[in-house]
């Protein structure tokens, strides 16, 4: 039993990693819920990868990675917006290409840097074990902002997810609230990449909220499940990484994905049984 707690109590870096992971899990639970509700998984994915060149540039020029990530996100959102407005056909294709292009640009920039492989690894896979106190403060602030945004905009976000036209007619501008939602998702990604990396942060955004969607009857329940699954994943991933010397970010994402598929399987078996019973009852 002790082995499940002492790694955190006796190693400050483990405790800091856990705190950072919990904050990120909560932010991802809130933002991920709306990513799924609104069917924005693809844009979320694009954003997660689009921040890479910004971070790479930051590493190269020596300014904070988080600012580089923000710049990358702004460029990505701008690109996605222009594409979705201009082309009625296959905006998916264009967005897909945009984010692959950004990813390639990021790698190209990093390859110019001297400490090439170290930087790239930490950007792609995160460095949660080396997270500093100041990064934790930033994550706390971001998580609070994300929570408040979701709370204030709960009605328009809900209407947007249900039917964007309904939101517009109800007096909540589609455009404004869509952009606020994008901003919230981008913020989540920007502050989360340090923990699990740009390559995998999308997993923490989608998998816990996806499992929550399968279990919950209401949005609030979905968020609560998502936060719980995220925190369990972070905790388990940290321990796995600690004892078996595994890549931490990847361990966390692996756990969260496994949780999703366990829930998915149980849920599927359950609803199939229910359906069979329902049909039998109807006969």
Partner 1 sequence: MNNAAADMTTSQAGSIKPIFARAKNVTVGYPGEIIVEGINFELPQGQAMALIGTNGSGKTTLLKTSVGLIPPLGGDLTVFNTKPGNSARRIAYLGQFHNAGFILPLRALDVVRMGRFPLHGLVGKMNAADNEMVKSAMHTMGIEKQADTPLRFLSGGQQQRVYLAQVLAHHADLLVLDEPTSGLDAAGRELYLHAMNDEMCRGASIIVATHDIQEEAALCQQIMLLAHKVVAFGPPQQVLNSETLLETFGIVIGKDQKRPAVLECAHGHDTEPAIQAKVKGRKFWMR
- Which residues bind to partner 1, rule: CB under 8 A? 36-37, 152-153, 155-156, 158-159, 161-163, 165-166, 168-172, 212-213, 216-219, 221-222
H-run or E-run covering 154: helix 154-162
CB of 37 to partner 1, least distance (A): 6
Quick one: 211 or 238, whose CB is closer to partner 1?
211
CB of 211 to partner 1, least distance (A): 12
Distance CA 225, CA 164 (A): 26
Quick one: 86 or 217, whose CB is closer to partner 1?
217
Quick one: 92 or 165, whose CB is closer to partner 1?
165
CB of 32 to partner 1, least distance (A): 13
Quick one: 86 or 218, whose CB is closer to partner 1?
218
CB of 64 to partner 1, least distance (A): 33
CB of 262 to partner 1, least distance (A): 18
Place of tokens 């934790």: 136
CA dihedral of residues 278, 279, 280, 281 (deg, nearest 10)? 50
| Secondary structure (3-state) at 170 | coil
How many other CB atoms sit within 10 Å of the CB of residue 32? 31
CB of 136 to partner 1, least distance (A): 30
Quick one: 30 or 239, whose CB is closer to partner 1?
30
Quick one: 118 or 278, whose CB is closer to partner 1?
278
- The answer to whether 208 touches 233, Cβ cutoff 8 Å, is yes
**Close Cβ partners of 122 (under 8 Å, ≥ 6 residues apart):** 197
Quick one: 64 or 164, whose CB is closer to partner 1?
164
Q: How far is CA 96 from CA 46, 79, 110, 268, in A?
A: 7, 11, 21, 31
- Quick one: which of 180, 188, 181, 179 has its CA closest to 144? 188
- The answer to whether 49 touches 43, Cβ cutoff 8 Å, is no
CB of 166 to partner 1, least distance (A): 7
| Cβ-defined contacts of 155-164 (< 8 Å, 24+) | 157/34, 157/37, 157/38, 157/181, 158/37, 158/219, 160/38, 161/34, 161/37, 161/38
């Amino acid at each position: 039993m002790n082995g499940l707690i002492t790694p955190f109590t006796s190693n400050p870096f483990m405790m800091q990693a856990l705190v950072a992971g919990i904050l990120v899990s909560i932010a991802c639970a809130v933002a991920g819920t709306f990513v799924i509700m609104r069917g924005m998984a693809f844009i979320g994915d694009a954003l997660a990868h689009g921040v890479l060149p910004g971070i790479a540039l930051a590493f190269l020029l020596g300014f904070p990675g988080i600012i580089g990530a923000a710049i990358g996100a702004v460029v990505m959102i701008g690109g996605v917006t222009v594409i979705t407005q201009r082309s009625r056909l296959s905006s998916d294709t264009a967005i897909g290409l945009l984010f692959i292009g950004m990813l390639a640009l990021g790698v190209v920039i990093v390859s110019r840097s001297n400490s090439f492989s170290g930087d790239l690894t930490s950007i792609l896979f995160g460095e949660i074990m080396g997270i500093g106190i100041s990064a934790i403060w930033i994550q706390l602030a971001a998580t609070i902002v994300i929570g408040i945004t979701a709370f204030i905009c709960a009605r328009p976000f809900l209407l947007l997810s249900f039917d964007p036209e309904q939101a517009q007619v109800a007096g909540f501008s589609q455009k404004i609230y869509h952009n606020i939602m994008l901003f919230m998702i981008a913020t989540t990604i920007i502050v989360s990449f340090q923990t699990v990396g740009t390559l995998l942060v999308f997993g923490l955004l989608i998998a816990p909220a996806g499992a929550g969607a399968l279990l919950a009857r209401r949005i609030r329940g979905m968020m609560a499940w998502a936060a719980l699954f995220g925190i369990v994943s972070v905790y388990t991933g940290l321990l796995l990484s600690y004892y078996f010397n595994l890549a931490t970010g990847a361990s966390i994402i692996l756990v969260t994905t496994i949780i999703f598929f366990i829930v998915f399987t149980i849920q599927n078996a359950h609803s199939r049984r229910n359906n069979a019973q329902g049909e039998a009852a109807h006969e």
